[in-house]
Structure 1
Amino acid sequence: MSTLLQPLDWSPGGGRYLPATPGTVLWGELPCAGDDPVLTIDPGETVVIDTVSHEGILEDQGRAPAAFFAGHGITEVLRDALAVAAEVPHDPAVHGPHVVTGPIRVRGARPGDVLSMTVLDLRMRADYGIVSSRHGRGALPEQFPLEGAPVTSILARVEPMPDGGARPGASSPWLVGTMAVGPSDDRRVRFPLAPFLGTMGVAVAGSERAHSVPPGRHGGNIDVSLLTVGSTLHVPVQVDGALAYVGDPHYSQGDGEVALTAFEAPLRASVRFDVIPAAHLPRPGELWAETPDLLVPIGLDPDLNVAMRAAVRSAVALLTDLGMHPAHAYAYLSAAGDFAVSQVVDRVRGVHGKIRKADLTDLA
């Protein structure tokens, strides 16, 4: 019996369905104002969106996913991954690696508004994925991959918890990610699963598509691992209709994503799209996120130190909007706020803050 969640294999639990086909995805680019939407919705609608992982279909992996995964002992591959690899234009010298599904036009969204993208559900479409490192990239580009190889692609699996147990607090408590400890070693490391979409965002203004790797005010490849089910990303709208998209699915990622990629594997995402009009915003919108328990300010810059300062400024602004004096917000963040490195591998580095909503009950 197949363990794959193939395209069109879904149960309508609310929301429209957008498969990942050669006609509904971009590979290595993000939408711009000149792109036509593949779906148009009203604010407040939910869309069930299939995503395809770039790992296993890239040129340095042969651009032949069936053969690539067969070399790792995998005999079943998603049909949409095969179609994307065979039919979607992609030049690795020009384009980024990520496959994004969209764009989705949200009626009434205008520049100056904020598009709130809430992740309602994430379903793993496979029980395997890849973690890769490539020369010149990642946190230690001078050291990895080893032995001068251009790319190292390591298979990760989704497996039941040992002895049928559960991992309290995990997104998938009965399942874990596993990976061999060496090329010829049957022992495995086991780690929690926390699926999320590494790429969520809106189209950039103008007629030129953005590269899929560096994140920015448009969102894109932000790789904030907190954006699991129940989270919301708030993105400033830059073009009429927003032209939203999602992609870069992960089953897990450590803060930093040091080896260039994390546990990259395909997801089926249910996302609700809401519009906050500019007139309802206390100041021009900026990129930030939240979970049921946390406010998540985001800072981005090629310089990690500058990204950290940007995240702190964003955190102060969020708390000020909620009613704190800026100096007191700054002091609170030093006493009780947390800041983590989102990723150091996407040209533009990311830092995200973690502010507990429970600390702010007097501001409600």
Structure 2
Amino acid sequence: MEVLQPGTGPVASSTYLTADPGTTLWGRLPGVDDPTVLDLEDGAVLTIDTVSHEGLLPDQGSDPLAYFGAHGVGVEGVLRDAVVLARELTRDPELDGPHVVSRPIGVRGAEPGDLLRVTLLEALPRVPYGVVSNRHGRGALPGEFPQGPRDVSVFTPVDDAGLASMPLADGGPPAVRFPTDPFLGLVGVVPAQGGRLHSVPPGPHGGNIDIRLARVGASIILPVQVPGAGLYVGDPHFAQGDGEVALTALEASLRVTLRVEVLPRARALAEYGDRRVPFVETPEAFVPTGMDPDLDEAVRACVREAIDFLGARYGMAPHLALAYLSAAVDVRVSQVVDRVCGAHAVIPKVHLPDGEPATPRHLASAEVAS
């Protein structure tokens, strides 16, 4: 797998944003007082180099060359921008989050009340490895894991076929293999309130929503809160399970290409309803979300969002929408580790009036058997 150092390798768009101290923040989301690093026309496509925080953090030595070198990665296999960011950016480990986040990108014509649709067109791994970490007091099982006195970071190689591997025991040979499916865990717009928010908890502005369905071909739809929207991205993932239970997913740097579209208020209402929190759309499904520090409340919020969406787009009565959701729609846990928990509902498009009806599984099975 080719290592995509800054400015090398394929770049799909003529608009290319590298990750350097002038284009990124560490541990905070951009606020209303942050100037944009570039301004785009509605519908523009851009390519962004993102950098994972894993390998940069204090419990890993704050030295990517030394950290990844200890796992057998040569100097040319460590991203130069990661080395520079670890050396030149500052963060307060007690007050700031871990994520490297792009500074805001303006989108001309975006106004509060509109929606911003951000579609992931391409996600290229920049390195052939990633890291999964579990840190004390965090994750789904704080107090139980890590089982020793130290934080745990699992270095995870990825082969040319895109398969990640882990051993069954420390120091053992690769035994567990799983496919990668890259996406951005963190996509957001500048919130209306002043100041830079902590990078970990997601909210109405988006941010660290960690929904693994937001992979290539999918769109994240965000409610614009300030003129120009102020798009930012970060937290690149190679793979994640629903829940993200250790604390992190398989974190690793990506080169992503995005299409950014403004949906004016009237069109936004017709297509998605009055969305006040992030919404995901894949080629196969609509994915309303819910967020709250209490996971039960996050699920309830997600169900309400799904009911509202079905009513706004299809005119479905609320009691019938609830019945349909109960009979045919999966409500999944997005993540339980970001202070604010997330849930999302996966509504198959084939079920809906403008979709192609699906063949019932039992009939399809009968046809195969015959």
TM-score range, shorter chain: over 0.9
1:315 is aligned to 2:302: no
Q: How does 1:257-268 map to 2 (within 5 A)?
A: 257-268=244-255
Shift of 1:11: 3.2
1:164 maps to none
Shift of 1:12: 4.4
Q: TM-score normalised to the size of structure 1?
A: 0.93
Whether the 8 Å contact between 1:39 and 1:102 is mirrored in structure 2 is no
Distance 2:140 2:355 in 1: 40
2:53 maps to 54
Distance 1:12 1:192 in 2: 24
Distance 2:128 2:169 in 1: 20
- Which AA in structure 2 matches 1:224? I
Shift of 1:61: 1.0
Cα 1:328–1:363 change in 2 (3 A) is farther
Which runs of no fewer than 5 residues in structure 1 stay unpaired?
A: 161-173
Distance 2:117 2:51 in 1: 22
Whether the 8 Å contact between 2:12 and 2:47 is mirrored in structure 1 is no
Distance 1:196 1:106 in 2: 22
Q: TM-score normalised to the size of structure 2?
A: 0.92
1:209 is aligned to 2:163: no
1:242 is aligned to 2:243: no
2:67 maps to 68
Distance 2:173 2:90 in 1: 38
Whether the 8 Å contact between 1:322 and 1:363 is mirrored in structure 2 is no
1:30 maps to 29
> Which residue of 341, 344, 353 corresponds with 2:345?
353
Larger relative strand fraction: 1
Regions of 4+ moved over 2 Å? 10-15, 279-286, 361-364
1:336 is aligned to 2:328: yes
Whether the 8 Å contact between 1:294 and 1:357 is mirrored in structure 2 is yes
Distance 1:235 1:284 in 2: 11
Shift of 1:197: 0.3
Aligned residues with identical type, % of pairs: 51
- Which AA in structure 2 matches 1:52? V
Whether the 8 Å contact between 1:295 and 1:357 is mirrored in structure 2 is yes
- Please provide the CA RMSD for this pair: 1.4
Shift of 1:279: 3.1
Distance 1:79 1:230 in 2: 29
Shift of 1:206: 3.1
Whether the 8 Å contact between 1:62 and 1:68 is mirrored in structure 2 is yes
Distance 2:10 2:245 in 1: 36
Q: How does 1:1-364 map to 2 (within 5 A)?
A: 3-75=2-74, 76-149=77-150, 151-160=151-160, 174-282=161-269, 283-286=273-276, 287-323=278-314, 324-362=316-354
**Which piece of structure 1 moves more, 135-144 or 67-76?**
67-76
Which runs of no fewer than 5 residues in structure 2 stay unpaired?
A: 357-370
**Which piece of structure 1 moves more, 320-329 or 246-255?**
320-329
